[in-house]
Structure 1
């Protein structure tokens, strides 16, 4: 919302995403002494939700003919 970084910052302008902005001018949960107190809670809730989505539901492809390339990773 800083007019120095984004002219007319109160209005949506897709060109804002094309601009180069200075580092650390946008930090969603802030940082340092003023870090959001709900940051860890939000992270934990996201991880729990993903766990239940993956483990508690049966997943199948909507279009079974589409194949995905195998991803190989080394542990």
Structure 2
């Protein structure tokens, strides 16, 4: 997320979306059914495998909610 009020266009926040989870790959290879994120054990994914990763509007809203505690938007 960048500010648009100055020529500098400074970055005010970054949100990283990740669908990759090494643990789920290993568990699936062992025949277990796993849903990411938040499965039992360590899950490095923070986005479901079914969600589109290019939904910038959604991520801007999530990031806006996160940084609105520190920055007036």
Establish whether TM, by shorter chain, passes 0.5.
no
When Rg is computed on C-alpha atoms for both structures, the one with the higher figure is 1
TM-score normalised over the length of structure 2:
0.30
TM-score normalised over the length of structure 1:
0.30
Larger relative helix fraction: 1
